[in-house]
Amino acid sequence: MESAPVVVDIERSFAAFDDVWAPKIVARYNGNEIRLVRTEGEWVWHRHDETDELFIILEGEFEMAFRDQVVTVGPGEMLLVPRGVEHRPAARKGQVRLILIDPDGTPNTGDVATATTAVEL
């Protein structure tokens, strides 16, 4: 059976939620979840031992602290955090909207016990 193409209206999807640091799954492909996330303030230090993590910044200035440096990315830029690298995301200059791509079921802190569970939008 053939599947139909999927179109996601990103603006409409972001308009459907206001909470921060709470990923919303808007699509899936090849075992990955496409998550929309609003961020504001600072998140926790964490790492993902099993997977890389990909952030695509749509709006705002996003900061990623690593133990030896801080990387700042803005709209139209993406950041790849390699697996096993400890990091702490932050949005210090107001809210950031981003797309996060992770394998299905990946906890956003790398640990199910401390994660905010991604939910279908």
Token pair 């504001």 in the structure block, residue: 40
Instruction: Identify the band that residue 30 occupies on the pLDDT scale cut at 50, 70 and 90.
Output: very high
Residue 117 has pLDDT above 80, yes or no: no
Give me the mean pLDDT over the 83-105 stretch: 95
Per residue in 52-81, pLDDT (tens digit) is: 999 999 999 999 999 999 999 999 999 999
Calculate what percentage of the chain has a pLDDT beyond 70.
91
| DSSP string of 27-90, one letter each residue | EEETTEEEEEEEEEEE---B--SS--EEEEEEES-EEEEETTEEEEE-TT-EEEEPTT--EEEE
Beta-bridge partner residues of 59: 97
Closest CA to 21 of 96, 75, 71, 86: 96
Domain ranges across the chain: 16-120
Q: What average pLDDT does the segment 21-30 reach?
A: 95
Q: Which CATH number applies to 16-120?
A: 2.60.120.10
Report the pLDDT averaged over residues 94-120. 81
pLDDT digits (tens, 9 = 90+) for 1-17: 678 899 999 999 999 99
